[in-house]
A and B are shown apart, each in its own frame.
Chain A
């Protein structure tokens, strides 16, 4: 008798529940965003104008592409094509790095203009702009943290694929990793218009 059992449906159910908790975690921030947007509409508009739509747009495209590749990596492993699967996961991780590098330059530019939490420059601006940038740094920062976690999870997936722990029959780890990655992508899809395109 062994109590190490494999339950594909159970593993998926658990992952979906976990994704709910992630959505709720960000939900708290979205709630704050909604309320402060109602309180400071014109300041949020002004703040949105200051952000670089090009970098944000590029990052959105990068994440969408990465989501595509993580999805086809699962198809590849189901077809038993280990090599292709690995290649697609590598591309996904590369996309996460591109995203983070872009983010780094974007934040760096803001920092060089004296825009960072609790900075002297922000204190001179209006309260609404302070809140806008505060939310911007907290939400994109939290999202960036999730990008890193997702990339680490996919890194583990690479390790398991190489050792055939993830294979044609047992790929639920990769599939759950992929689900997590889609969530990271999905959250960005909401963050992008809220901050960069806000009217």
Chain B
């Protein structure tokens, strides 16, 4: 029996050919397809970002005209938010890992999972079509604020339709994950033995299901406004543009927790493995994910302090915004407490995890300045905001994604990348990141407004340093991707459990077989109990 079981082909070998991938219902293949598309579009987004920074290296026109600049930063936003960051960890690594984590053969609805991926592709195609058809790419910013988005002649309708489809894909993924976690846990996998990454996906999935429909109706309304001219958001016809902002942020603020929660889940997996210690405060970390998901859904209007709301509303939303900081801080303190007196081995995934904690804290604390109404009035729509969300989204979700890529790499490919080069890439990336974004805090405080094509000469220094930083980041990313790509094909083979992790995925072969497990797992221990777990290289 044992030998026959060992002979199972892994999920790469099971079937071959492009069709066996794009029509697969295997969660690991679907996850990988998400990952490859996400990374491809990440590179596109990075190139657009480099163009923006290049344009801003000096005042006045440098490499493009103002209209192109508007289109480029809109595309950078749309691609990075809707196509890259939102699906990055939940759809890619969530799909690859969630069923293995909870001891299931696949997600609850494998075919629906494939449909989500197809919808993601179709939505992306629509977003791309909007660039090359109609009267030029959208120039509204990724928020599609009315009334400008109603009246601009650029191709907004097609782009928002793409966003609608991407939202649909996100809803179906969330729905699938909730059902999977409720129905398909292995025997013995009770709620307090679920790995924290799965917990974070659970919280994320609820946000996806409950918030995304609002985005759906909002972008449909933008289309209706453009095509039918109903006037719901047009003051001349009795409509109210502020209502658009409310509807938009009711989704889009919770969406930042769709972005950050899974990354926090990744960090919660990595820290205990490399500290070789049971995670500190398992229940509090799990609970804080749900608390962030809940509280994060009540704070949308802190994007609108300067849009004209009643003072009472501003006060309440400011207060609620501060509440989100509590569960976030619980996580950060628990990670640090896990490291305390741990037997730490500094490997690449841990470096990314540690830099996550640092960058997320810098970004998160800046968020408090934006969340309190008084300081927000000064900082609203300045580069301070740009820096804040890049620290949280790129420094948080982005570094979380890189951490996940390095942590689960040996599990997915059964090979290892060159750790020395990976560490060098990390260092360059980390330094470049701070050179790129920290100056933006400073010029933001000095009053440099965001989205502007041109600026006054006193901001030149900050912009110049920042642009140099963007080149350093690009170099770091290049080294990282080349190393990963090389490791995929030529890296040395490794065993099942190179890091000595205790969650279920480390006890199945690398790469895992089609149905994940050689025999149905029975869970008898906590996922962070390292007694008797030895790394095997």
Q: Which residues of A come within 8 Å of B, CB atoms?
A: 1, 3, 5, 7, 9-11, 13-14, 17-18, 20-22, 24-29, 31-32, 35-36, 39-40, 117-118, 123, 126-128, 130-131, 134-135, 137-138, 142
Contacts and interface: CB of A to CB of B under 8 A. Distances in A.
Contacts of B209: 17, 20-21
Taking chain B's interface residues, is the majority helix, strand, or loop, or is none over half, making it mixed?
helix
A184 B231 CA distance: 26
A7 B108 contact: yes
Most buried by B among A32, A127, A137: A32
Interface string B232-248: 10000111100100010
Contact of A3 (B105, B179, B214): B105
Sorted nearest first, the 5 A-B pairs with minimum C-beta distance are: A127-B238, A118-B229, A28-B217, A134-B230, A24-B213
20 contacts: A3-B106, A5-B105, A10-B109, A10-B179, A13-B179, A14-B112, A17-B178, A18-B171, A20-B209, A21-B175, A21-B209, A21-B212, A24-B213, A25-B216, A39-B240, A118-B229, A134-B230, A134-B231, A137-B230, A138-B221
A21 B213 contact: yes
Contact of B218 (A17, A26, A28): A28
Contact of B210 (A11, A24, A131): A24
Given A17-B178, A28-B217, A131 B239 contact: yes
Nearest to B238: A127
Given A17-B178, A21-B213, A131-B232, 14 more contacts: A7-B183, A10-B108, A13-B183, A18-B171, A21-B171, A24-B213, A28-B217, A29-B217, A31-B247, A32-B247, A118-B229, A138-B221, A138-B224, A138-B230
B1 interface: no
B7 interface: no
Contacts of A20: 209-210
Contacts of A9: 183
Nearest to A134: B230
B228 interface: yes
A32 B247 CA distance: 9
Interface of B: 25, 105-106, 108-110, 112, 171, 175-176, 178-179, 182-184, 209-210, 212-214, 216-218, 220-221, 224, 228-232, 237-240, 243, 247, 250, 514-515
Nearest to A29: B217
Contacts, number: 108
Nearest to A118: B229
B230 A28 contact: no
A117 B230 contact: yes
A14 B176 contact: yes
A14 B228 contact: no
A3 B232 CA distance: 48
B367 to A, nearest CB: 26
Contacts of B109: 10-11, 14
A3 B515 contact: yes
Given A13-B179, A35-B240, A35-B243, A25 B213 contact: yes
Contacts of B106: 3
Contacts of A31: 247
A180 to B, nearest CB: 14
A14 B171 CA distance: 11
A35 B240 CA distance: 10
A52 to B, nearest CB: 21
A18 B214 contact: no
Contacts of A25: 213-214, 216-217
A17 B183 CA distance: 14
B85 to A, nearest CB: 21
Contacts of B229: 117-118
A32 B213 contact: no
A134 B232 contact: yes
A17 B171 CA distance: 10
A123 B236 CA distance: 10
